[in-house]
Amino acid sequence: MSLTLSPGARLRSAVCAAEVVVIRAQGELDLRCGGAPMVGKDESARTDAGPTPPYDTGSLVGKRYVHDGLGVELLCTKSGPGSLAIGEQPLELKSAKPLPSSD
């Protein structure tokens, strides 16, 4: 199932408590959490199946997740046991930019 993503869209996992806000994305993508397609924040497609391995490593609140090849960036607004992916490709935790040296 593909979702049409645009900046500001709020989504939640169908299998755990994780929620995200889209920071950067364009077009239709198969965004998943815990191995299941994500749904709109207000949709009621919630199941209690729980995340499936290997998509059960968790999402952390306040962290940004990216897929550089597709130009996708998500901000996790509620943590959960499911990990984020596009199709079967896991999203990576965005690392902080190094500060310039103060020499």
In a domain, 72, yes or no: yes
Range of the domain at 34: 3-93
The 10s digit of each residue's pLDDT in 41-91 is: 888 766 678 899 999 999 999 999 999 899 999 999 999 999 999 999 999
Q: What angle do CA 9, 12, 17 make, to 5 degrees?
A: 150
- Does the pLDDT at position 103 exceed 70? no
**CB contact at 8 A, 84 and 35:** no
In a domain, 43, yes or no: yes
pTM: 0.88
Tokens of residue 48, six digits: 């209690």
CA dihedral angle for residue 68, residue 60, residue 41, residue 33, rounded to 10 degrees: 60
In a domain, 61, yes or no: yes
In a domain, 101, yes or no: no
In a domain, 102, yes or no: no
| Total tally of structural domains belonging to the chain | 1
